Amino acid sequence: MERPETPDWVRDAVFYQIFPDRFARSLSVPKSGNLESWGSPPTYNGYQGGDLVGVAEHLDYLQELGVNAIYFTPVFQSASNHRYHTHDYEKVDPMLGGDAALRRLIDAAHDRGMRVVLDGVFNHASRGFFQFHDILENGPDSAYVDWFKVSGFPVNAYHLDVAPNYEAWWNLPALPKFNIQNPEVREYLLGVAVKWVEFGIDGWRLDVANEIEDDEFWREFRRRVRRANPEAYIVGEVWTDAQHWLQGDMWDAVMNYHFTRACLAFFARGEVDLPELQRTSLFPIPEPGAPAFAAAIERLHGLYAPEITGSMLNLLGSHDMARFLTLAREDVSALRLATLFQMTYPGAPSIYYGDEIGMKGGHDPANRGAFPWHDHDAWDRDLLHDFQRLTALRRARPSLRRGSFRVLQAEGDVFAHARKLGDEAVLVAFNAGTEPKRIDLAVHDQVADGVELADPWSHQAVRVEDGHVRGLELPPRSGKVLATSLGG
């Protein structure tokens, strides 16, 4: 079988996920007067007025953070603040600044070498989607009656005490599910996918993509998207194992929630906000401790072809879960350690907007708060500095983006791994416990005897002797990086 082909740029990417209504609001984009105040407690239905021009105006901040790719939750016209209820797939929401704002953002991002990935909601539309609205108006005489799977008339789309008489996502009447077997529907959705790639986006994140149970649709999706841009990134939302879609003929990767689950268990030591965790598909998490973490990570690392593993979207947070800090009971050290692992593991790291400054929040809508641009007292500056150091480390070290991965040690609360590419090697050791540790770390075949390794920040050096780094000191709740000199 041929090796999967995935976009090479993804290996160099550090993603930043943005929920557009809550990241940044530009004064240049006209808005309705009935908006919630910026930074007020987020609600299910209210808008705070973020837009794409606001993002473009803050690209300096993202570059300083070390971000070079942005994934946006949906941006198309919708009657919801999250925009997963799509009204018009061919128009950027006017509240976000319309098509012109997306054009400005893409051009500004590309000028800086940054990529832009959009969210494709192709499983379902909304009651306001024109073709479904036509069914509401015209019943069985609608020209689009076969675009959805309707079982009776009149269509019951608004009486919440009665189940909808059409297929809907999770039986929610606001989200009628497309009849993907209809050739007109397929052509429409494939045309949407190609249109925005030709407009200039660099890929698609596919919402609940496993629920479109039609492999040939995804194969054709890949063929057409790649014809429009051979380097377009296609990443599905699947919370479980995803080998079925990751054979090289459908998607490039998935949002790596297995990675999230393992990191939460180890770095938070299992001390999590259980009620919040139980509201997500992350529950249950693995047992705490390094052996369980190593087992989970080694299984995950071996689950897919190396080309797929190197393209996975490795996240610690998203709009669909309580923020990592909240799940970890506000233990900032857990987020620091997990981010160090995230930035030194194969695949593309993804930062959920605001995690880098210590934003907190439970399940939707609390996890979708407004970024506090004008309240710097709310920023954890030390945490932000750590994120910047770690993205810079990843950028400086080819082995962290393209090198091999090997677990070196997993005992008690101590875990260590190595990344290696040619003569360059990076060793990373963690002490997730609350007591200091002093270890002799076996480097196996990753570094030869006599080679000097140094901390990239303090520049303190050690030498490999008899296949070990001897007497490595690991303070409580800490991580240590040791690397060969740049260039070998």
Q: Which residues contact 245 (CB under 8 A, 6 or more apart)?
A: 209, 210, 218, 236, 238, 251, 254
Q: Does the pLDDT value for residue 310 go beyond 70?
A: yes
Q: What's the CA gap between 280 and 268, in Å, rounded? A: 17
Lowest mean pLDDT among 36-45, 152-161, 241-250: 152-161
Q: How many CB atoms lie within 10 A of CB 66?
A: 21
Q: Does the pLDDT value for residue 260 go beyond 60?
A: yes
Concatenated DSSP letters for 4-65? P---GGGGG--EEEE-HHHH---TTS---S--PPTTSPP-SS------HHHHHTTHHHHHHH
Q: What's the CA gap between 377 and 84, in Å, rounded? A: 33
User: To the nearest whole number, what is the mean pLDDT of the chain?
Assistant: 97
Q: Does the pLDDT value for residue 166 go beyond 80?
A: yes
Alpha-carbon distances of 122 from 168, 208, 222, 244, rounded to whole Å: 13, 9, 14, 19
Task: For residue 126, give both structure tokens.
Answer: 């909304």
Collapsing DSSP states into helix, strand and coil, what is residue 156? coil
In the chain, what percentage of residues exceed pLDDT 90?
A: 97
Q: Does the pLDDT value for residue 460 go beyond 70?
A: yes
Judge contact between 56 and 103, C-beta under 8 A. no
Predicted confidence band at 487 (pLDDT cuts at 50, 70, 90)?
low
Check residue 309 and give its pLDDT.
98
Region 249-268: mean pLDDT is 98
Check residue 159 and give its pLDDT.
87
Region 348-359: mean pLDDT is 98
Check residue 3 and give its pLDDT.
87
Check residue 203 and give its pLDDT.
98
Task: For residue 130, give both structure tokens.
Answer: 């024109």
pLDDT tens readout for residues 47-89: 999 999 999 999 999 999 999 999 999 999 999 999 999 999 9
Region 477-487: mean pLDDT is 92
Check residue 2 and give its pLDDT.
76
In the chain, what percentage of residues exceed pLDDT 70?
A: 99
What structural domains and CATH numbers belong to the chain? 8-123+178-396 (3.20.20.80), 400-483 (2.60.40.1180)
Region 458-471: mean pLDDT is 95
Alpha-carbon distances of 124 from 172, 300, 434, 488, rounded to whole Å: 11, 30, 47, 51
Predicted confidence band at 1 (pLDDT cuts at 50, 70, 90)?
low
Concatenated DSSP letters for 250-293? S-SEEB-HHHHHHHHHHHTTT---HHHHTTSTTPSPPPSSHHHH
Q: How buried is residue 291: exposed, middle or buried, by Cβ count under 10 Å (0-12/13-18/19+)? A: middle
Q: Locate all alpha helices (DSSP H) within 145-210, ordered by sequence.
A: 183-199
Collapsing DSSP states into helix, strand and coil, what is residue 205? strand
Predicted confidence band at 486 (pLDDT cuts at 50, 70, 90)?
confident
Could you list the active site residues? 207, 237
Predicted confidence band at 161 (pLDDT cuts at 50, 70, 90)?
confident
Region 142-154: mean pLDDT is 97
Helix (H) or strand (E) holding 102: helix 98-111
Q: What's the CA gap between 322 and 50, in Å, rounded? A: 21
Strand intervals (E) in 353-454 = 404-411, 414-421, 424-431, 437-442, 452-454
Region 210-232: mean pLDDT is 97
* Exposure on the CB side of residue 119, measured as CA atoms within 13 A: 25
Q: What's the CA gap between 203 and 253, in Å, rounded? A: 12
Region 350-368: mean pLDDT is 97
Check residue 179 and give its pLDDT.
98
Region 413-422: mean pLDDT is 98
Q: Does the pLDDT value for residue 144 go beyond 70?
A: yes
Q: Does the pLDDT value for residue 488 go beyond 60?
A: no
Q: Which residues contact 321 (CB under 8 A, 6 or more apart)?
A: 260, 280, 282, 327, 363, 367
Q: Does the pLDDT value for residue 298 go beyond 70?
A: yes
Check residue 242 and give its pLDDT.
97
